[in-house]
A and B are shown apart, each in its own frame.
Chain A
Amino acid sequence: MSEPALLDVKCLVAGYGNKTVLHDVSFQVMPGKVLTLLGHNGCGKTTTLKAILGLNDRAKGEVWLGGRRVDQEPVSARVAQGLRLLPEGRGIFATLTIGENLDVVADRNCRVPDSRIGVQEVLKLFPALAGRLSTLAGSLSGGQQQMLALGLALLGSPRCILLDEPSIGLAPNLVERLFDMVREVCRSAGVGAVLVEQNVSASMKIADHVTILNNGAVVFDGSPDEARESNFWHFF
C-alpha cells in the first residue's frame, strides 16, 4: 500500500478579479520529499502557493494536509497545522534583529505541545546566524537573509513548506547551499516542500518530483528523470 500524501492539491482554480489564472491544478507532495513546480513567467506558480495557503480570495478546489481538508480554513489555521510559506523576496522582518525575528515568530508558533523546531534547533541548522543574534536582519547578506527566512518558516511544527523563488538575488554557490539545506531539512524532519523556481537546473537537482505548469494548467507531472526524458524545456 502506497504512503498517503502529505499535501494533496485537487482541482485548484484561482485568479484575480475576473481573470482565472489556475485551471484544475492537481498534485501531491509526499512526506520528506521536494516537489519542484516549474513553468514560465506568469503561468501561475506563485498563485498556486498563495491559493494553497488561503491567500487567494478566489481559490476553489480542495487542499488536503496530512489527510485533513484545510481549504475552508483561514490562513492562520493552515499555518498552525503546518503549512508554511517562504515568500518571494526577503521573508524577514528587516528592522528587527535576528534574535527578535526568531523570538517573535517562535512566540506564536512554538508554544504548542507538538512543536518540534524551536529557536535553538534553527540556530543549529544555520550556525551563521547564531553568533549574530543582535544584528539587524536587514543588514545581513542575501544568503543569510534567506537562511533566516527559512528558519522562520521552520519554527514550530512545519509539515509542508512552500518556497517561492528562494534563489532570487543569490550567488550560484549560495543557491546550491540553500537548496542543500532545504533538502536536508525535508529529509531529516519529514517535512514536504513545494519549490517554485526560475532556476530550473538548480531546483531539478533537489527535486523528488516535478510538476510543470503552462498557462495555469498542469502539463507535466512526474519524476525528474521522466521530465528530462520528455524534453521538458519546450514548456518554457
Chain B
Amino acid sequence: MLFLDLLADGVVTGCAVGVVAVTFTMIYSTTRVFHVAHAGIYTVAGYSTWFLTTRGLPFWLAIICSIAVCAAVGALIQHQLYTRLARRDAPPLVLLIASLGALVVIQNLMAALFSPNILQIPADWRVLTVGIGSIRLSMPQILLAVSSLVIFAGLLAWSRYTSLGKRTRAVAANEFLAEITRLEPRRVYITVMAIASGVLAVPGSLTALDHGLQPYTGTLVLLTATIAMIAGGMGNLFGAFVTSVILAALQTTSTLVIPGQWSIAATFGLFVILMIVAPTGLFARRPR
C-alpha cells in the first residue's frame, strides 16, 4: 500500500532529522549559539565515511572514525570560533554570522576536496531490503531508524541521569551561577558540541549511504530540524524529535494529494499556521 510505504519512508527520514533537531536543540539551549554550521558537520560525516570506506575500511569502522572526526570538528568550532567571539562580548547576531561563515567554508571545502557531484558510499548490502508486512525498507533505512531511536533515547538518558548531563542542564539554566559554582560552562560547551557533533555522524553517514551525498544536502535537513526545534517547543528534546518525525511523515504522505514539488511548501505552510495558533510550540512546557 503506497500510503504505508510513504509513511514509513517519512518516519525513517524523520528519525534522522530528529537526531539533527535534538542535537541542534542541545547546542542552542546550552550555548545559546544558533549553530547553523551543524549542517556542515552533517555533511562532514557523510564525506569522512565515504573517504574511509573507499580506502578499504569496513563501513562500521568508518562510522566510528567519522564520529571522532565530527566530534573534533564540533569541538574545534566551539573552542576556536564561538569561545573566542564570546570572550570579546560578541552579540548573538555576530555568532550566527560566524556560524554561517563556518557552514559555507565546510560545504565549499567538501566540494573542493571531493567534487560537488553525487558520490555513493561503496557497500553492496545497501540495496538489500527487508519486508515488514506490506512495507519494504532498505537496510540503511532500518539501521537509520534503529540507530536514531537509540541515539535519541541515549541522549535523553544522558541528559537526565549522568552527572555531566545534569551539569549541562545546569549550565543551560543559569550560566552565571554555573560559573560561580565551578561548573565551568566553557568546558561544558565544548563537551556538548563534541557529543552533539559526534552522534550526528551516525545519521549523516547512513543517510549518505542510502541517498548518496552532495556538499549542500545538509542545509535542507537543518532547515527542517530548525523548524522542528521551534515547533516542538524550544529546548524540549522530546518535542524536537517527535515534531521532526511528524514533519517528515507529512512531507512524504502529502505527495499522495499534492504534486511532489509542493510538499515542502505545504508542510512548512502548515507549520506557519501552527506557530500562529501555538507560538510556544507543540510540546512547550506549561508555566506552573
Same assembly: yes
Residues of A that sit less than 8 Å from B by CB: 53, 55, 75-76, 79-80, 84-85, 87, 91-96, 100-101, 103-105, 107-109, 136, 138-139, 152
Give the docked Cα–Cα distance between A156 and B121 (Å): 53
Given A93-B173, A95-B172, A96-B166, do A108 and B182 touch, yes or no (CB 8 Å)? yes
Q: Which of A91, A92, A96, A107 contacts B169 (CB 8 A)?
A: A96
B174 within 8 A of A: yes
Cβ–Cβ contact A93 & B174, under 8 A:
yes
With a CB–CB cut-off of 8 A, which chain B residues contact A85? 180
Among B163, B169, B180, B288, which residue has its beta carbon within 8 angstroms of that of A93?
B169
- What's the Cα separation between A91 and B176 when bound, in Å? 9
Interface residues of B (CB under 8 A from A): 163, 166-167, 169-170, 172-174, 176-184, 288
State the Cβ distance, B76 to closest chain A Cβ, in Å.
23
Asked if A91 and B173 make an inter-chain contact with CB atoms under 8 angstroms apart, the answer reads: no
Indicate if the CB atoms of A104 and B176 lie closer than 8 Å. Answer: no
Q: How many pairs, one residue from A and one from B, have CB atoms within 8 Å of each other in the complex?
A: 63
- Cβ contact within 8 Å between A96 and B184: no
27 contacting pairs across A/B (C-beta < 8 A): A53-B180, A55-B179, A55-B180, A76-B182, A76-B184, A79-B182, A80-B182, A85-B180, A87-B176, A91-B177, A93-B169, A93-B170, A93-B173, A93-B178, A94-B174, A100-B169, A103-B166, A104-B163, A104-B166, A104-B170, A105-B181, A108-B167, A108-B181, A108-B182, A108-B184, A109-B181, A138-B288
Contact, CB under 8 Å: B177 / A87: yes
**Which B-chain residue is minimally distant from A107 (CB atoms)?**
B163
Is there an interface contact between B174 and A104, defined as CB atoms closer than 8 Å? no
Cα–Cα distance between A76 and B170 once the two chains are bound (Å): 16
Chain B residues with CB below 8 A from A76, complex form: 182, 184
Residues of B within 8 A of A53 (CB): 180
- Min CB gap A141→B, angstroms: 12
What 15 additional pairs, Cβ within 8 angstroms, besides A79-B182, A93-B173? A53-B180, A79-B181, A87-B180, A92-B174, A93-B170, A93-B178, A95-B172, A100-B166, A100-B169, A103-B166, A104-B163, A107-B163, A107-B167, A108-B182, A152-B177
